[in-house]
Structure formats: C-alpha cells, structure tokens
Copies of this chain bind each other. A is one copy, B any other.
Amino acid sequence: MSDNANIDDRYVVGVDYGTLSGRAVVVRVSDGAELGTAEHAYRHGVIDATLPATGETLPPDWALQDPDDYREVLKNAVPAALAAAGVPADRVVGIGTDFTACTFVPALRDGTPLCELPELRSRKHAYPKLWKHHAAQAHADRINALAHERKEPWIARYGGKISSEWQFAKALQVLEEDPEIFQRTERWIEAADWIIWQLCGQETRNVCTAGYKGIFQDGRYPSQEYLTALHPDFTSIVDKLDHPQSPLGDRAGGLTAEAAAWTGLPEGIAVAIGNVDAHVTSPAAQAIAPGQLVLIMGTSTCHVMNGETVAEVPGMCGVVYGGITAGMWGFEAGQSGVGDIFAWYVEHGVPAEYKALAEERGIGAHTLLSELAAEQPVGAHGLVALDWWNGNRSLLVDHELSGVLIGQTLATRAPDIYRALLESTAFGTRMIIEAFEEAGTPVTELVVAGGLLTNAVLMQIYADVTRRPLGLIGSAQGPALGSAIHAAVAAGCYPDVPTASAAMGSRSPHSYQPDTARADAYDKLYAEYRTLHDYFGRGGNDVLHRLRAIRNAAVSA
C-alpha cells in the first residue's frame, strides 16, 4: 500500500459496461473523488429485431450484441473521461471494468469472437447473447428438471432454478439450434472476462460470473454424467469454460501496448479481474458487511449482500463464495422489471394531461406522478399490483409471468396506478428479504444504488414496506466507481477491497426511516400481494402461463 502523499496524486479508471452504452470514470485513489466521466453508446445497441449483417429477422425474445462495440468504449469513453478529468495519463495506475451478466461470448482460443470471423458474420448464434436474451427458457426448463431429477447438489445454490439468462441455458440453445457454432466455439467466455482479455492480452476468469452465471460451485462444474444426460454433445462445454479462477480485486495483467493506444493510458498499468455491474457496486456503496442488502435499482433491480455463512435460499439467483468480496458468501437476487415498469406506464398508460402539467411545472412526468401519488394515504387507491411486467427473477425465476393489477374503479387515476406500481416493486423486494431471513440470513439495512435512488417517494415506500432504514450510495455511477476501487486494489494502492471501499466508496446511511403507521398499513397490502403472488406464481392458477402460450400461438399463427 502506498502512503497518502503518493495516492493523492494517483488515479484509476473504472469502466461500466451497461446494456446500451459504456461509461468511464476517472477516480482519485486517495478518496474516490470522481474527476471526470464520459459515456459512449454502442453503435449496434441491443440487436433484437434484425441481424445487421444480413437483415435476418430475429425470433421473439432474442437479444444479441456486437463485441466490437465494447472495444469502441475503450477507444472513446476512456480518453474522453481522462480529458474531462484533466488528469495526466501518466498518473493513472490501473483500470477496472464491470459488465452486464450473463452476457456470453462464443470465441476462438485467442479470444476472437466467432461473429468476427467473416464466414460466421451471418450466423446469429455466433454473436454474444446479451443478458436479456430470453429465448432459452425451454433449455433452462430441461436443465432444471434434470438437476432436480438427479438431485444435483448445486441446484440449491441457485434457489432451485437456473435462469434462462445464464451460460448453460444459452450454450445449450446454441448447441441444439446451430451445432456447428457450438463446436467451433473454443472458449465460451463472459463479456466481463472477454473485455479483460482485450485489455491485458490474456484470458482470465473471475469467480463472480463463474459462480453466479456458470454453475461453478465448490470447485467444479456440473458432472459429465449430468451434461451427457442433458445432451450427448454438451459435455465439451466444461472444456470451453474451464480456466483457473481469480478473486475479485486481483491483477489480471498489465495493459497491452494495443490497449494503451486505444485508451491513452500507460502501457503496463494494472488491469483488474473482470466483475459484474451489480456486485461491483457494493464496495462503492460501502455496503459489504453482512446484513447490508444493496439494491441496484434501475430498469431492473439486482439485490446483492454478503453473508458469513452459506445459506441456500429458495428462489434466489445464487450464492457464491467470494462472489462479491473475497472471503465472504455473496448472495444475489433480483427483480426483472422495476424502472422499466414505471417507464412503460408513463409512456403507454398516462394520459396527456399529466405530461402537460409536468411540462408546465418544468418537471418530469415521473416526478409529477410521484409527488401526486405521495399525497394519498397508504391504501387510498384501493389497488394491488404484481410487478411481473418483465417476468419474475426472484423468487419464482419465471420469465413467462406477466403483470397483474387489481382494484381499478371508474375513480382510479394515473397517480393511483403509478403508486401501486411503485409499491408492487417494494413488495417484491420484501418477498426477497423475507426469503433471505427465512433461510437464516438477516437483512438489517437497505442500501440503494442506481438511477432510481433520486425518487424520494419511491425510497420512502421501500423503507416503509420493508420496515428497514434505507441508505443511499454517494455516487451517481456506483458500478464505475466500484470498478475503479477494484483497479486501485489490483494496482496495489490498497491491500484489499474492503480497505479500498472504506477509503474510496461512499454512502449516506439511514437517509430514510420507516414510519410505523405507514408500515402497519402496508402490512395489509403486502399480505394481499403475497396471496396473489402465490396464486398466480406458484400454481394456484396457471393462467399467466396459459395467456402467454395463447399469445405466442396467436402471434405466430
């Protein structure tokens, strides 16, 4: 560890790879001050309608990306952030990144993505499948059914269900739909690790994605017997994945000359091991103690929390040793639609009068609706919603569920529905908290990161519904700051991530306190939410699945 005099003039770069863009931030090592930032949008964005190379129409629920867009972030956002910070490049000592996950790249042995081979450019399965590629549900269903049938021990670590978003489901889809691409894939690699390969010129694998997205538990992948039973040709998946794994905060290597030229950073500086956008945020929020549940709230919400002991929580995304911070068990859960639902409602369900009023007052529609909604007592709207517009990631792990809204009358107005939607996501989070606690993992505090933390009405609802104090991350770009913290550790400026987090992260603790009267009132609505959750989500009435099947048949007829 360097002394303070030194680190006061040392800097690290964090790069956060999101769904539509990458964002770089230049951070001072000594105190985490964010001195400059820049964003670069992916030229191809999310490829979900047609394949650019051929114009081929993609099937429903597909979502691909073009990996060269990731390199472009390094070439554009990093120099721009550096310029904005006014920091000389030679004072930068490390770079760290975080990525959406599971975003899964089929590549050659040298890291070349298959989609960059001219002869495979026209093959849709050659492209990275983005996290929200949802066309492998049938494959996930088989993975899960077989795991339970064979009583595979690892399935409990994932709450009983492997998601269709994850590596094995996506790879099995490739094998069955385009076996040649599967065979030609020499390395299946998370984008989180692929980008590190681009930076330091050698393959590394982080424990986080291997554990959460890759079914790597207790030192091994699923057995050959299991994989053979799934599909005789699927056993080679393990060879294509396998590699020594590195703890988060380790140094992956030194920045290559090529990557130094892209970024304008000094050759040879530390490149941190890859990481995931949600998990990397905990140290940025100074929230890595057991019981501190970090909610990264944006279009969707990821919940991450450290625990001292392993617990198998039904319906969780996963629990991975070292998955958030080395030496602790990292728990992950999630809600697949949060800000997305509010945005959907404002765009597709709110009449013009509210938008006109918001414009007149010079505020956004979300702000206006939140303020109007806040005026009413708990329960005055008479509504309850299930927040499944984009399926349910935890506890049900079911992307074929859909939204429910009950209690509308002719007197129901837009702020009523808006508030019911805000509340429904808080109820969803409370379900997750209760599942943690029922499995013996207490949750004592909520710490919110992500774009939605600026909505004070929403934050108060979360505090009231969960009866827990709620703190806020200090940074507007938590993942990028978290990546920078890992870069500082990889560069040797701090001995470990917790120490770096204490120095560079920030959090306003207890920004919101639960109100007892409102919490009591919410208990009644939550009880209704819970009953409907089980009725529609746990087999009481499988109507949402039948409606999805009817819809799919009608649309494809």
Contacts and interface: CB of A to CB of B under 8 A. Distances in A.
A408 to B, nearest CB: 4
B410 A521 contact: no
A423 B293 CA distance: 44
Contacts of A532: 541, 543
Nearest to A60: B411
B531 A543 contact: yes
A382 B349 contact: no
A54 interface: no
A380 B554 contact: yes
A109 interface: no
A91 interface: no
A543 B555 contact: no
A286 to B, nearest CB: 33
A340 interface: yes
A405 B405 contact: yes
Interface in A322-372: 337, 340-341, 344, 347-352, 355
Given A348-B414, A351-B347, A351-B350, A406 B551 contact: no
Contacts of A404: 404-408
Max chain B Cβ within 10 angstroms of own Cβ: one of A349, A381, A555: A349
A497 interface: no
Given A351-B347, A531-B543, A550 B406 contact: no
Contact of A554 (B352, B521, B553): B521
A115 B524 CA distance: 42
Interface residues of A, number: 54
Contact of A406 (B381, B543, B557): B543
A378 to B, nearest CB: 6
Contacts of A381: 551
A548 interface: yes
A244 interface: no
B405 A408 contact: yes
A62 to B, nearest CB: 13
B553 A379 contact: yes
Contacts of A544: 406-407
A223 interface: no
A435 to B, nearest CB: 22
Given A406-B403, A544-B407, A380 B348 contact: no
A403 B414 contact: no
Interface stretch (A77-85, A116-124, A180-188, A383-391): A383-391
B409 A389 contact: yes
A407 B400 CA distance: 10
Contact of A355 (B352, B403, B531, B543): B352
Contacts of A405: 404-406, 408
A150 interface: no
A528 B557 contact: no
A352 B352 contact: yes
Contacts of A531: 541, 543
Contact of A351 (B348, B376, B521, B554): B348
A340 B541 CA distance: 29
A377 interface: yes
Nearest to A344: B410
Interface in A518-557: 521, 524-525, 528, 531-532, 535-536, 541, 543-544, 546-548, 550-551, 553-555, 557
Contacts of A409: 389-390, 402-403
Max chain B Cβ within 10 angstroms of own Cβ: one of A337, A379, A409, A555: A409
Contacts of A231: none
A525 B550 contact: yes
A233 to B, nearest CB: 34
Nearest to A414: B348
Given A382-B548, A382-B551, A543-B384, A407 B403 contact: yes
A406 B387 CA distance: 11
A142 interface: no
A413 interface: yes
Max chain B Cβ within 10 angstroms of own Cβ: one of A352, A376, A408: A408
A551 B349 CA distance: 22
A355 B406 CA distance: 26
A528 B547 contact: yes
B402 A406 contact: yes
A337 B403 CA distance: 23
A413 B348 CA distance: 6
A444 interface: no
**The 3 residue pairs across chains A and B that have the minimum distance between CB atoms:** A382-B551, A352-B352, A403-B408
Interface of A: 337, 340-341, 344, 347-352, 355, 376-384, 389-390, 402-410, 412-414, 521, 524-525, 528, 531-532, 535-536, 541, 543-544, 546-548, 550-551, 553-555, 557
12 contacts: A348-B414, A349-B349, A379-B550, A379-B553, A379-B554, A380-B555, A381-B551, A389-B410, A404-B404, A405-B405, A405-B408, A521-B550
Given A337-B410, A348-B413, A380-B554, 4 more contacts: A376-B554, A384-B543, A403-B412, A531-B543
